[in-house]
Amino acid sequence: MALSGAVGSAFVGLAILIAAPVIERWEGTRTDPYRDIVGVWTVCTGETRVAMRRYTPAECKAMLDRTLAADWAPAVLRAVPGLQDRPYQFAAAISLTYNIGESAFARSSVVRRFNAGDWRGGCDAFLFWVNAGGKRVQGLVRRREAERRLCLTNL
């Protein structure tokens, strides 16, 4: 069952408030376009789906907030409706999804475990997502460990 109205908006807002600093820490923010670790054009806080041009820091922050609320949080709830009353797990899942994409998240063992009610197992499955371009990346190892810690909060 999906949340609606002010309660749903407040809950999504809380999860985004928790997730945004995690995403900002691990993605970093660069106002000029650059190629990421696997060669994808990226700008601002890991954004790949916008015009590749110079942005102001304020534009980058607004873009992140808007895309988390409009795209990433709803994608996570579509895949795992049970996250609607679990703000820390929801926030961690938003961060993961922002990094790996909606399709990969929807097919992941994180989603399968969460949907089976195995919350701790779902959090543990974050640690599977540590490769980029077919290679283990230490930065992703550290990010997934941080996301897992967040995910385990209040379980």
The residues annotated with a catalytic role in the active site are 27, 36
List the beta strands (DSSP E) in 24-98: 30-35, 41-44
Backbone dihedral angles phi then psi of residue 42, each to the nearest 5 degrees: -140, 155
Residue 47: DSSP 8-state: B
* Residue 128 burial by Cβ neighbours in a 10 Å radius (0-12, 13-18, 19+): exposed
3-state secondary structure of 118: coil
CA contacts within 13 A on the Cβ side of 95: 32
CA nearest to 115, candidates 75, 85, 80:
80
